[in-house]
Amino acid sequence: MSLMNTYGERTTTLVKGEGAYVWDADGKRYLDALSGIAVCGLGHCHPAVTEAVSQQAQTLVHVSNLYLVEPQVQLAERLVELSGMDCVFFSNSGAEANEAAIKIARKYGNDKGISAPHIITAESSFHGRTMATLTATGNDKVKAGFTPLVEGFSHVPFNDIAAIEAAATTNTVAVMVEPIQGEGGVHVPDADYLNNLRALCDNKGWLLILDEIQTGNGRTGSFFAYQQSAIKPDVVTTAKGLANGLPLGACLAQGAAATVLQPGNHGSTFGGNPIACAAGLATVNTIVEQNLCDQAAKLGDYFLKHFKEALGNNTHVTDIRGKGLMLGIELDKPCTELVATANQRQLLINVTAGNTLRLLPPLTLTEAQADDIIATVVDLINEFYA
């Protein structure tokens, strides 16, 4: 195998996708309840995205970001309109979008005379695998072997405002959290968490950075998860579902944070590529025009209701939680082998945090497909403990 072994053994070769299904090289069909880890929100090979990519590939594939390109400008305007933020920096990935957010926070501090800016993040968080985002991540397992890490980060328990206050120093410039933790095990905070976090940051003069790499683009029932609270962050990042499979990340800022980065402070050769932005614009417009945020909210409630009915009496199931189509079923012991077992049943799922079965199906999923996922997952868990 000529591929570097960073993902473990991979035995399934996927060659084709359509809607909620993918096919392997032997022609076997799988129901994809993972969507490329929350990437293909519209399902695989959505016609609107395919058409946008095809048209753009025949028009303009790449130019330097020293020049404006129409799809990038159009997508930025659409995201600003939907988010209420002021402006956007485009990158190739979620980690790069978070790097931009961290650089905004650090320069925000430096501009105020703080030479060693300090950012508070949450335990069990995940912000990426570049060195700064790896350091921001609250998971020691993914950091092992990569010291020395970047200075200037502290980690506190998620959903704990008092812990943030206790960890603050005179150099603190920002708090960076996910509205719902994904990789950490699909943890949904208290309903007033973001409101209290916003009030604390306003009181202290800190930036509030929300990592919506996974929760953005309709996944939790609104375009951004923070829109289900009464607040607006200073900086919000997103990526995964933004271009339905094309590599694209975005760092949006508003207020004082929007003017921190000036010419020469940051950049990207490929970020905001015309094809990726054309795909992003088609994806965002489809999410809005087809009311897929509402669809995600309704289907999420449907999943939770039926999982709780079917598994509520299983004493090995310690929690069933989620919001929209970001769902987790926590078991009382490690269960990573369920991924392979599900694969044998032609269902693609994920296990995160070692013991939490995670589902991130496309927003376009039908109720019949949801029923298939529910039936298979319930069988998998019951048989796991038989």
**Residues with catalytic roles:** 126, 211, 240
Is 286 within any annotated ligand binding site?
no
Which helix (H) or strand (E) segment holds residue 384: the answer is helix 367-384
Q: Residue 94, annotated ligand binder?
A: yes
DSSP 129: S
- Given a contact cutoff of 8 angstroms between Cβ atoms, the answer to whether 376 and 348 are in contact is no
Cβ neighbours for 46, distance < 8 A, ≥ 6 positions apart: 40, 244, 282, 283, 286, 364
Please count the other Cβ atoms lying within 10 Å of the Cβ belonging to residue 148: 7
Q: Is 268 annotated as contributing to ligand binding?
A: yes
- Residue 211 is labelled as binding a ligand: yes
The residue whose two tokens read 């978070």 is: 98
Q: Is 113 marked as binding a ligand?
A: no
Q: Check the annotation: does 121 bind a ligand.
A: no
Beta-carbon contacts of residue 259 (< 8 Å; ≥ 6 apart): none
Is 354 annotated in some ligand binding site? no
Which residues, other chains included, contact 166 with Cβ-Cβ below 8 Å and sequence gap of 6+? 156
Q: CA-CA distance, 381 to 316, in Å (whole number)?
A: 9
Residue identified by tokens 């399902």 is: 43
309 phi and psi angles, rounded to 5 deg: -65, -40
Annotation: binding site: 94-95, 126, 129, 211-214, 268-269
Annotation: binding site for N(2)-acetyl-L-ornithine: 129, 268
Annotation: binding site for pyridoxal 5'-phosphate: 94-95, 126, 211-214, 269
